[in-house]
Chain A
């Protein structure tokens, strides 16, 4: 199938957004998407999700004769496939440039860095060695295949266990997993690729580009590094010209990202190890959650609570000091005492626009005649409100389920300050009255 073309307006918008340092999903320029690592039941099988990009990795091994020029070394074989389910543009059996590029990068990252000790894979020199095969399948393409694939590859290799082997003279015994526990591969370090996408001839760079961002980028720089800050592979493609300090800056960012990623991988591996040892359930059935269409679920966004303390302090210092506390009751008349003053009416924040208030005034004056209390007319002030959003908020809350024809929202207004003490008592009266009024209206409607 043909891939969906990128329209001009998307391209223009993305470039404008990048110039304003904004990304589609709200990330910062150097932020990675959420990484989720889940393991299968078999050793050496894992799925890595980098945002929506998913890669499945599976490691397997076989005893084979070694290469003639390397009789004491094991053989490593890497293969990445772009499954047609990943993107509509991928077709099976058609070798694209992208496929070749990603395959070469993974090979260089994992083979040339000598992260796996191939000498330890030798069983009988010159006759039998282990061939370790890593298969990577791209299940969903949402950008940055290389990073996801490199993480999946190294995690699968760390997770893998090969059968134990013993050599006695000429005899070679390969133990089944039941006879002897399988043995992990000997891995020196974990190289991880970090991709940088460049825009506007190297002016802007983004880490971990998503699929849309990849479509409009000028070029990409991939740096593979391990947590000891050793660069294993570095590749720049797309024909962009980079200055020396840009590359150095990228390598510094890579060091930070790789450290975080390695920690995450280690944690994931430890968790899986623990689950298996304690006899708990493990495998994809447990780790990949059921995603039902009918379930409302959204990934929660991480909240930055770094400045919370500072913000809290600021708010406290800027706020009005608390009012004095009255401990002595004020005796009005025998039998009526008052302790302290009521707080100011805060219901004034929920006022509606003029129209509603005009309507309220009419109704309230009716009510005044009905109730026989003149205090209410004082309260209907002509305070103008400009927040139409709050009006909508109130309306949606009240009107959405209402079956009444004329629903009038009555809220007490902000009273003048001099009558504060009296108003506090008034407030309670009006609130009761509004409640009764609504009840009466409802009864009238039926």
Chain B
């Protein structure tokens, strides 16, 4: 019942959709607005007031090349998309500038949706391995931060390989790693 179907497809190229949470890279600061690259055909714009607790006097500290986690306020095929880092009630709910360390990499959109599904096995199993911070953007970008460079690289490689591994292979790989 319902009659609404979600047709999943495998693609790497992202198309901005209203309400999606994505990771953007700041490319330019133009007066009151930041320009972000989100992997779409147009760069997204983000006003400096769209952060929690930002006022005209209290500007957020954003540099070119920083990573921002935000959601699309406006995204259609006729205009450049607009992003914000607060929700409708003015709270940031985890959005905003992503910290300086860690590593950003790109995967396919299908894998992101799989990872964002509730009770994702992959993330649960990985969390048994090492503690880490993870930000998933619907535009295919993942930001990971673990204690050491080696641990971060391991998590990056596992997540990239999860695209092609069966659950069995993944468990084997993680068992091997946790045994080390």
Contact = CB atoms under 8 A, between A and B. Distances in A.
Interface of A: 1-2, 4-13, 16-17, 20, 22, 24-26, 293, 296-298, 388-389, 392-393, 396
Given A26-B157, A392-B128, A9 B102 contact: yes
Interface in B51-72: 63, 65-67
Contact of A4 (B39, B67, B169): B39
Contact of B153 (A1, A24, A388): A24
B102 A13 contact: yes
Contact of B161 (A8, A11, A22, A298): A298
Contacts of B143: 9
B66 A7 contact: yes
Contacts of B104: 7, 9-10
Interface string B65-92: 1110000000000000000000000000
B67 A296 contact: no
Contact of B37 (A4, A8, A393): A4
14 contacts: A5-B37, A5-B65, A7-B25, A7-B104, A8-B65, A9-B66, A9-B102, A12-B100, A13-B152, A20-B149, A20-B150, A293-B10, A296-B166, A296-B169
B122 to A, nearest CB: 12
B152 A4 contact: no
Contacts of B37: 2, 4-5
Contacts of B27: 5
Interface string B106-126: 000000000000000000010
B65 A22 contact: no
A389 B25 contact: no
Interface string B3-22: 00000001000000000000
Chain B interface category by residue count: 20 to 34
B65 to A, nearest CB: 4
A7 B39 contact: no
B128 A7 contact: no
Nearest to A396: B171
A24 B156 contact: yes
A7 B164 contact: no
Contact of A22 (B153, B164, B169, B171): B153
Given A7-B65, A9-B143, A26-B157, A16 B149 contact: yes
B101 A13 contact: yes
A396 B167 CA distance: 11
B166 A4 contact: no
B175 interface: yes
Nearest to B98: A9
Nearest to B106: A4
B164 A297 contact: yes
Contacts of A8: 63, 65-67, 100
B66 A13 contact: no
B164 A298 contact: yes
Given A5-B37, A389-B128, A392-B125, 15 more contacts: A1-B41, A2-B37, A5-B27, A6-B65, A7-B66, A8-B65, A8-B66, A9-B66, A9-B67, A10-B103, A16-B149, A20-B149, A20-B150, A296-B164, A296-B166
Contacts of A25: 157
Contacts of B166: 296
B103 A5 contact: no
B144 to A, nearest CB: 10
Contacts of A6: 65
A389 B178 contact: yes
B33 interface: no
A4 B27 CA distance: 9
A298 to B, nearest CB: 5
8 closest residue pairs by CB, A with B: A8-B65, A13-B103, A7-B25, A389-B178, A298-B164, A17-B149, A293-B10, A392-B128
Contacts of A10: 103-104
Interface in B127-177: 128, 143, 149-150, 152-153, 156-157, 161, 164-166, 169, 171, 175
Contacts of B25: 4-5, 7
Contacts of B39: 4
B43 to A, nearest CB: 8
Indicate the member of A10, A17, A25, A388 with the most B CB atoms within 10 Å. A10
Given A5-B27, A8-B65, A17 B98 contact: no
A342 to B, nearest CB: 27
Contacts of B125: 392, 396
B12 to A, nearest CB: 11
Contacts of A1: 41
Contact of A296 (B41, B165, B178): B165
A234 B67 CA distance: 39
Nearest to A13: B103
Contacts of B149: 13, 16-17, 20, 22
Given A26-B157, A298-B161, A7 B67 contact: yes
Nearest to A21: B149
A222 B49 CA distance: 48
Contact of A9 (B41, B103, B169, B171): B103
B25 to A, nearest CB: 5
A8 B102 CA distance: 10
A298 B175 CA distance: 18
A199 to B, nearest CB: 15
Nearest to A8: B65
Interface in B25-44: 25, 27, 37, 39, 41
B101 A12 contact: yes
A136 to B, nearest CB: 25
